[in-house]
Chains A and B, each alone.
Chain A
């Protein structure tokens, strides 16, 4: 009887060994797994949520505002009497209408000044004041109607900014104000309200509006050319000067980016719960070979590099979207035994089906083999600068990658050799990525960003539906951008 036959007979006997466990064992197992039955947190949804959240935020911020309608307040030419008294009487208009008209006129001026499209009402030279005022009866009853137009618009008679005021003057109205000097507080409050609204759409416009608002009220009794004295004109003109001269920033920027770090393969969870999981991550041989256990897969992290061209488009002052083309190399390292060359193997050693000329034994940790995966990917990401004064960007997005080449170790259970070969990978690899980028250097027109980056492939590496291992990488990202 051969030695192995004794072991085999013992093994057969032990395979038959079976007992019935007590009922308490299942109860305790059940109790334990109930508390652990929650689904593991799908961390890769975080970048997706960030993308969705940033997109939603941008949509809300850039939602089209309801168009401001111009209040039509008067049709009649002002009578001579209306010019004379510079009392605070607002003949023919109640104060609400005046206030409303003023605030809306302010809004039109500032919005137009910010460079937005003029509405048909402001672009055409149609009279601002229609023939029939909405409160004509009461107006007439109380005296001659006086049109109200924003005094702030008058000196800036350029570029369609103050068409409404111009129109008013062009219609032969001498621009007398209906605003009573005794009620500046109400008017000013309305003006401030309008300015606050403007601040949301354009800081430049709001600045101008505030500067203009600082100019004293429309002086009564002056023609439109005499509305302001020299100092006032200069103040208003200087407020508009930056807008006229400043060149708007380009919304597009391009650059190059690179990332250096480490990569590895993980299961559905990014981090193992314990070392025990690593034990379960052993490769399963294609052919089971008696009771011979499969050697433990000793995968370690390897260097990771990614680099390419990027392009960004600003959606707002602190939000932008980016894309580009990236080349990435993921690597993992695997400890193996001695290298064996095909030519040195004995003739009875069957390795005919194995690819390559170099094999590695599965016993000793004599060598380290580097598995490599090359991908070309197109990222789509959103960058948000959460704090206005801190040049820090939070980015999150997705990548569609295509595997252009790969080589990794495989295990053959019959020969008990590792052999390098092209793995059966999914060609299309979706990945989620996230990171932080801090502006470490920059001047007008360019900037250098750096910060930690992480990416996790949502697609499993293998075409096999049961192998859920995925590539992931983390490291330091550097990006150079030019506007």
Chain B
């Protein structure tokens, strides 16, 4: 069953279609949620909240684009709202107006697996983690990130540069010694 039919059947309230839709996207969407949170339990909370929004707003999916892209956008929005609401993340989400930090030209080879890279990403402070995810993975511009998070565009650029530099540093350490806790060595 293609995505379009799956949406139609789900809109008719058929439980089997709804479950099929969930199963088709739940795995990859949990990966998205995982990148924005610090624990699997939080990621599952975001996933659940996100899928509830997906089913509630399924009528608004116009079918012009990919269903996966639409669901992913909902998950990202839900994750950001979750971070903003959750006290555990709020302290780390405080963004300061920093001066523009130049982005390093260092580009190490990323030989880590997806899960290893995600683990490194999750060790970043929440602010860095969110901005890196939004810019590097989702492709949002710093202006858009600024609008989404309510911060200045320059702050987004600066935080991204720091996050990127930190991540590259950890990747280099990991490349040398895969068993090392890279973030522990850098004192974050």
Task: Give the B-binding residues of A (Cβ under 8 A).
Answer: 1-3, 5-7, 9-11, 13-14, 16-22, 24-26, 28-30, 32-33, 36-37, 40, 267-268, 273, 276-277, 279-281, 284, 288, 290-293, 295-296, 363-364, 464, 466-468
A-B contact count (CB 8 A): 140
B178 at interface (Cβ–Cβ under 8 A)? Answer: no
Can you spell out 15 A-B residue pairs with CB atoms less than 8 angstroms apart? A5-B107, A10-B117, A10-B136, A14-B35, A20-B30, A24-B44, A30-B15, A276-B57, A279-B73, A280-B70, A280-B74, A291-B137, A293-B73, A293-B140, A293-B144
Please provide the 7 A-B residue pairs with the shortest distance between their CB atoms, ordered closest to farther. Answer: A291-B139, A17-B31, A1-B107, A284-B64, A466-B62, A466-B63, A18-B27
Interface string of B40-72 (1 = CB under 8 A from A): 100110011001110111011011111001100
Chain A neighbourhood of B100, CB < 8 A: none
Q: B116-159, CB under 8 A of A: which get 1 and which 0? A: 01100000000000000001111111011001000000000000
Q: How far is the CB of B31 from chain A (nearest CB, A)?
A: 3
Q: Could you say which of B57, B65, B107 contacts A288, with CB atoms under 8 Å apart?
A: B65
Given contacts A29-B55, A468-B62, contact A11 B137 (CB under 8 A): yes
Nearest Cβ distance between residue B122 and chain A, in whole angstroms? 11
A276 near B27: Cβ-Cβ < 8 Å: no
Asked if B60 contacts A267 (CB within 8 A), the reply is yes
- Closest Cβ neighbor of A1 among chain B residues: B107
Q: A13-B113, A293-B140 are in contact. List 15 more A-B contacts (CB 8 A).
A: A3-B105, A3-B107, A10-B136, A13-B118, A14-B117, A17-B115, A18-B27, A21-B26, A29-B52, A30-B19, A277-B57, A280-B70, A284-B64, A293-B139, A468-B59
Chain B proximity of A283: nearest CB distance (Å): 9
In the complex, are the beta carbons of B137 and A14 less than 8 A apart? Answer: yes
Report how far A291 CA is from B144 CA in the complex, Å. Answer: 13
A22 touches B139 (CB 8 A): no
Interface residues on chain B, number (Cβ under 8 Å) = 60
Contact A17 B35 (CB under 8 A): yes
Which one of A25, A273, A363 has the highest number of Cβ atoms from chain B below 10 Å of its Cβ? A25
Bound-state Cα–Cα, A33 to B77, Å: 19
Contact of B30 among A19, A29, A37 (CB under 8 A): A19
- B: residues with CB less than 8 A from A are 13, 15, 18-19, 22, 26-28, 30-32, 34-35, 40, 43-44, 47-48, 51-53, 55-57, 59-60, 62-66, 69-70, 73-74, 77, 103, 105, 107-110, 112-115, 117-118, 135-141, 143-144, 147, 164, 168
Across the interface, B52 reaches (CB within 8 A) one of A10, A16, A32, A468, namely A32
Give Cα A16–Cα B147 distance, bound, in whole angstroms.
28
B129 to chain A, nearest CB (A): 12
Report which of A1, A281, A290 forms a contact with B60, defined as CB distance below 8 A. A281
Asked if A14 contacts B118 (CB within 8 A), the reply is: yes
Indicate which residue in B26, B114, B140 contacts A14 across the interface (CB closer than 8 Å).
B114
Give every chain A residue within 8 A of B35 (Cβ-Cβ): 14, 17
Closest-by-CB residue of B relative to A36 is B56
Min distance, Cβ B178 to any Cβ of chain A, angstroms: 15
In the bound complex, do residue A22 and residue B137 qualify as a contact, i.e. CB atoms below 8 Å apart? no
Partner of B139, one of A16, A290, A363: A290
